[in-house]
Structure 1
């Protein structure tokens, strides 16, 4: 397990290496979006906690104008980021499918005897899309989310150590949920991919030999066989969806409990005059 993980990340880097300049632009854009997202709460705090309470009209107008500028900047950067990721995703898909097609033509006949054409097509189309989603979505979003979490913790720590500790108290529950659900969902996703490959292979074989199927009156037999596989695929996808939904709700509830705990600590600090309304 320890040797396969670095190989996976080396392969991911090998896929995006020809487009590292565009990926760097996307990363910088997302970091700027993260920074703007952290700026808005501070501006709202100034607006509500200082400008309105003290009746400072100039500060009020500055805060409103700054919020408008942040909103416009966020829209521009969001469009730039989504455009970069669409281009990057399209080029990665093109490159992977071209390389896979070239690789398929160099394989031996024994490979094609052990696998149906439908299964190979499924791998070429669906699995490539999954890899592209991993490269252009999951990996980058994980990196950005980590940077955002670190930035938020730094802001919290400079404001109140107690609030930071309360916010961190929910992290072990998130890790427990990750370790509990991750392997189960990954295994179920693999089973779903394998089952869809079998279905593609079955359909491809039947359509390719339709004359023979009809000549032997095998339509009902083939239909029952396909229905059985479709039901198995349905059960796998339903189970996977339920796991993902349970994990999502569990994560949301843990986050909500953490937010309530932070609000209680901050509210008590405000009532005891240990924290200002603006910082709250």
Structure 2
């Protein structure tokens, strides 16, 4: 048994009692289906022939009560299987979705850099639904089908061996046919999954960027992109339905041939006196018990293809090992001062041949305010992302207060670092909810105080419902400056000793920039602060400006010192000033 099979079976373990009851009910349902033709045979072959006219009514009443009893039992079993069986499947789906979502949280930025959100969503929704159907219906259908099939075979052999063997001549051909088409269906269903995941990714991308689409009047272009993906899905579906049609119609033909063989063969056997008419009727009823398992196996095959394909995609994600995890002996980061050291640090992305930067050696004293500048693409953001271990260093070490960050628990490390990004992400909900994200147990008073420190309180109070105002998807109802101040309030509430400002004011107008800059400076007071600067005028007063290139740190000093060097910084500052003049 391979690891994936063991993993699949492990999801049954918490619900083993419910599963066994489900299987018992499936066993009873199959048993009732086998008993019914025998009672019909008893009535036609024994009761009407061997009993006197006076005995028949009483025996019929007994048979009727027995039939009624087993049909009531079958009713309750069908109810249990349909209700509780589906609930069991839903609970297993719940467990799988929880495990997959939890695994998503463990994966690093490296993973998400190479994934489409829509495809990840498809794996946690559509794929898991099909796995659930397999988990629930698969075992039931197999149990019912096997019991009916084997039971019908044994009973038919007792009725007439030669007619039974005639029927079973068709079965090997049926199974070979089913196996061949099953493999084709497996490939087709897997392709369907990939295509629908592509469509989900396209839709998610379009809806997230709908304002950009409309601002460029590119609705038709987006429709073309969607049509391309939709056409691919339709083509994939057409191929899978072609295989499904072959499967269904082929098995239907074999079923008809079995009935044909029973009717014609039975006719000859009756003419030779080798089988009675009542036995032929019973035989035909049991043939239907052979046909129904075949039909259930058809359904099972479809469920199996869908479910296994979905489970493979589910396991493909679970088997991706997080590349950034806690060491076994990792410790909590306590009493943080904020002294940070980079020692021979280099970094490159997993799928890249060249390094983003190399040989970074840097010491930042606790409470220092450090500005990072450099041309686009030299890795300023990436360098700062190494401190909270959003990415892992390719070489070298980073220390906080003399402790290697790889020896610190991730949660503890990141709890002591606050990040304010250029692209602010606000969650759907209220302003209160979004600020509270910095400290989930914060009181309303603490949240209001954080908002005041971030220069956000005044505009919040002007909104219709104040702190309880719903801000819409990603804060669409707020301006860029307002969103940025909420993100700063969030970090104020978190109150970390280390801060990273990633071009936090570069996308704002001059008025908003001034307000946000003021709140950022208030937040940075007495904290170790890294500022990634796009507008160099905002960091002129920084006592420590670092110029970063692909080869590492090339210049370092105050604004005045770097301007006197007439090096890289002076060139960047001159270009920045010229751009600002044009902007104004």
Query: TM (normalized to structure 2)?
Result: 0.45
Match of 2:491 in 1: none
Contact 1:118–1:202 at 8 Å: present in 2 too?
yes
Q: Please tell me whether the aligned partners of residues 119 and 201 of structure 1 are also in contact (alpha carbons under 8 angstroms).
A: yes
2:10 to 11, 14, 20: 14
Shift in Å, 1:71: 2.1
3-state SS of paired residue (2:144): helix
Gaps of at least 5 residues in structure 2 are: 281-584
1:200-228: per-residue Cα shift (whole Å, max 9, x none)? 11111111122222233222111111012
**CA distance in 2: counterparts of 1:103 and 1:51, whole angstroms:** 65
5+ residue gaps, structure 1:
none
Task: State the SS of the aligned residue for 1:83.
Answer: helix
The answer for the alignment partner of 1:216 in structure 2 is 216
More displaced stretch, 222-231 vs 262-271: 262-271
Residues 190-247 of structure 1, C-alpha deviations (whole Å, 9 max, x = no match)? 1111011011111111111222222332221111110121122122212212321221
Relative to structure 1, is the Cα distance of residues 31 and 37 closer, same or farther in structure 2, using a 3 angstrom cutoff?
Answer: same
Q: Aligned partners of 1:251, 1:17: CA distance in 2, in Å?
A: 35
Distance, in Å, in 2 between the alignment partners of 1:156 and 1:108 is 62
**Structure 1, 148-157 or 90-99: larger mean CA deviation:** 148-157
Aligned to 1:174: 174
Summarize the alignment of residues 38-57 of structure 1 with structure 2, pairs less than 5 Å apart: 38-53=34-49, 55=53, 56-57=56-57
2:24 paired residue number: 28
State the shift of 1:53 in Å. 4.6
Structure with the largest fraction of strand:
2
8 Å Cα contact 2:29-2:144 kept in structure 1: no
Higher Cα Rg: structure 1 or 2? 2
For residue 273 of structure 1, report the CA deviation from its aligned partner.
Answer: 2.5
**Partner residue, 2:94:** 94
Distance 1:139 1:113 in 2: 39
What are the within-5 Å matches in structure 2 for residues 66-105 of structure 1? 66-105=66-105
Q: Which has the higher helix share?
A: 1
Give CA-to-partner distance per residue, 1:23-82, whole Å, 9 cap, x none.
111001000110000011111112223334555333333223322223222212111111
1:259 pairs with 2:255: no
CA distance in 2, matches of 1:25, 1:215: 59
Contact 2:23 2:139 (8 Å CA) reproduced: no
Q: 1:258 to 1:150 in 2, by over 3 A?
A: same
Structure 1 Cα separation of the partners of residues 228 and 13 of structure 2: 43
Q: Higher relative contact order by CA 8 Å / sep ≥ 6: 1 or 2?
A: 1
| Partner Cα separation in structure 2 for residue 279 and residue 62 of structure 1 | 22
**Partner of residue 186, structure 1:** 186
Moved more, 165-174 or 94-103: 165-174
**Is 1:137 aligned to 2:133, yes or no?**
no
Distance 2:248 2:131 in 1: 22
- Indicate the RMSD between aligned Cα atoms, in angstroms: 1.8
Deviation at 1:169, TM superposition (A): 0.7
